[in-house]
């Protein structure tokens, strides 16, 4: 339907003009034969049609669209003069024929002969032409602007979608690299927990491969994914109880972009001491989600404790997905590292 909308608007415009001119001619020249009224209607309609689309297809796209405003104004003046000069003789001829058939019109011409002067008719036609050109330009410029805006928004959407897919794709290899290193360490030590680690990795990859190809996933699924991830990390901790996850609030109806929280957990393991407590808290309330991590950092306050490709991707994804609707704060004090992510608009 959208494709045919501009054509329909043009048809309605010209039908309205025809109907208006038909009633006007009938009111003004009701004593004339119908043939003459139709001739007058036809030449008026063709004049406006030609002027409208000459401006539409030639003057606006070839001159005005190139920011040549002065040249466009000059071209409009010359076009109006040319069109008026062509139509004026036809108007004079019609006036003579009308005066021959209508005594009232003939008396009006004798009383005010200026109405049939060449210059007077040209000025009148030019004024009508200016209105025609103004309408044509307004509709053309507005239509082009709206069309370009739709195209721009569509391109922005496609670009954003592509960038998000690339960012998400970068997360998977980064996570897989870290996890395989962990499993390698267990296998190297002949740890009996190695098969369990491989099973956990299988569950994580299944989620990433088959359940994250949509813009949003249930928060319950993300929490389940995080629990598998934490179980995988617990296998290599000297004291698994040091790693805790607390979930508060209602999570059953909340949707979230897939794998959005994982970089924060990975960062905690990358820069945190595995021999010290590591705590994760997820809280939802009134359409707001808070995700916080707390751990003892290996780094000092003078070092960059918040870097890496995973966290860079996270910041970029947040900018794209939650513009002006999120906060991401970090704090490193006395080797205690805290990260707090707040999403203000949940789906």
Domains, the chain, ranges and CATH? 5-153 (no CATH), 191-343 (3.30.565.10)
Return the SS3 of 247.
Answer: strand
pLDDT in tens, the chain (347 residues): 455 556 777 777 777 777 766 665 555 555 556 666 677 777 778 888 888 889 999 999 999 888 899 999 999 999 999 988 888 888 777 777 777 776 776 777 777 777 778 888 888 888 888 988 998 888 888 888 888 888 788 757 766 665 556 556 555 565 677 678 878 887 888 888 788 888 888 887 788 777 777 888 899 999 998 998 888 878 777 888 999 999 999 888 899 888 888 888 888 887 788 889 999 999 999 889 999 999 998 765 444 444 555 677 788 888 888 888 999 998 888 889 999 999 987 76
Pick the closest to residue 84 from 40, 127, 42, 138 (CA basis): 127
CA 278 to chain CA mean position, Å? 41
Q: Whole-angstrom Cα distance, residue 156 to residue 325?
A: 19
* C-beta of residue 236 within 8 angstroms of C-beta of residue 272: no
Contact 72, 79 (CB under 8 A): no
- Closest-CA residue to 91 (of 66, 59, 124): 124
In 3D space, the residue among 133, 171, 156, 190 whose CA is nearest the CA of residue 264 turns out to be 171
Bridge partners of 333? 336
Closest among 220, 207, 219, 306 to 255, alpha carbons compared: 219
Is the CB of residue 207 less than 8 Å from the CB of residue 261?
no
Tokens of 229: 């991830």
Task: Report the C-alpha gap between 262 and 178 in whole angstroms.
Answer: 12
DSSP-assigned beta bridge partners for residue 248: 283
3-state secondary structure of 340: strand
Tokens 């389940």 found at: 224
Helical axes 262-271 vs 309-321, angle rounded to 10°:
150
pLDDT at 305: 44
């Amino acid at each position: 339907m959208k494709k045919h909308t501009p054509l329909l608007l043009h048809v309605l415009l010209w039908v309205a003009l025809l109907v208006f001119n038909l009633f006007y001619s009938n009111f003004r020249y009701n004593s004339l034969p119908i043939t003459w009224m139709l001739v007058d209607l036809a030449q008026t309609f063709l004049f406006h049609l030609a002027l409208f689309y000459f401006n539409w297809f030639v003057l606006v796209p070839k001159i005005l669209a190139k920011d040549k405003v002065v040249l466009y104004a000059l071209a409009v003046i010359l076009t109006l003069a040319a069109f008026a000069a062509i139509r004026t003789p036809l108007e004079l001829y019609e006036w003579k024929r009308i005066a021959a058939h209508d005594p009232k019109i003939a008396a009006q011409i004798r009383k005010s002969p200026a109405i049939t002067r060449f210059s007077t008719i040209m000025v009148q036609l030019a004024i009508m032409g200016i209105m025609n050109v103004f309408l044509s330009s307004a509709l053309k410029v507005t239509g082009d602007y709206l069309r370009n805006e739709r195209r721009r928004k569509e391109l922005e959407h496609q670009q954003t979608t592509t960038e998000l897919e690339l960012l998400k794709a970068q997360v998977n290899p980064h996570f897989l690299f870290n996890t395989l290193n962990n499993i390698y360490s267990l296998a190297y030590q002949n740890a009996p927990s190695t098969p369990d680690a491989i099973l956990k990795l299988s569950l994580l990859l299944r989620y990433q491969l088959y359940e994250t190809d949509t813009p949003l996933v249930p928060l319950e699924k993300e929490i389940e994914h995080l629990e598998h991830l934490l179980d995988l990390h617990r296998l290599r901790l000297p004291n698994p109880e040091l790693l805790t996850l607390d979930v508060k609030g209602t999570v059953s109806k909340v949707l979230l972009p897939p794998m959005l929280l994982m970089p924060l957990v990975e960062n905690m393991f990358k820069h945190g001491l595995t021999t010290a407590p590591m705590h994760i808290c997820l809280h939802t309330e009134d359409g707001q989600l808070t995700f916080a991590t707390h751990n003892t950092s290996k780094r000092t306050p003078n070092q960059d404790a918040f870097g890496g490709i995973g966290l860079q991707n996270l910041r970029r994804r947040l900018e794209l997905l939650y513009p002006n609707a999120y906060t991401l704060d970090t704090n490193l004090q006395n080797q205690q590292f805290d990260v707090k992510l707040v999403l203000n608009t949940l789906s």
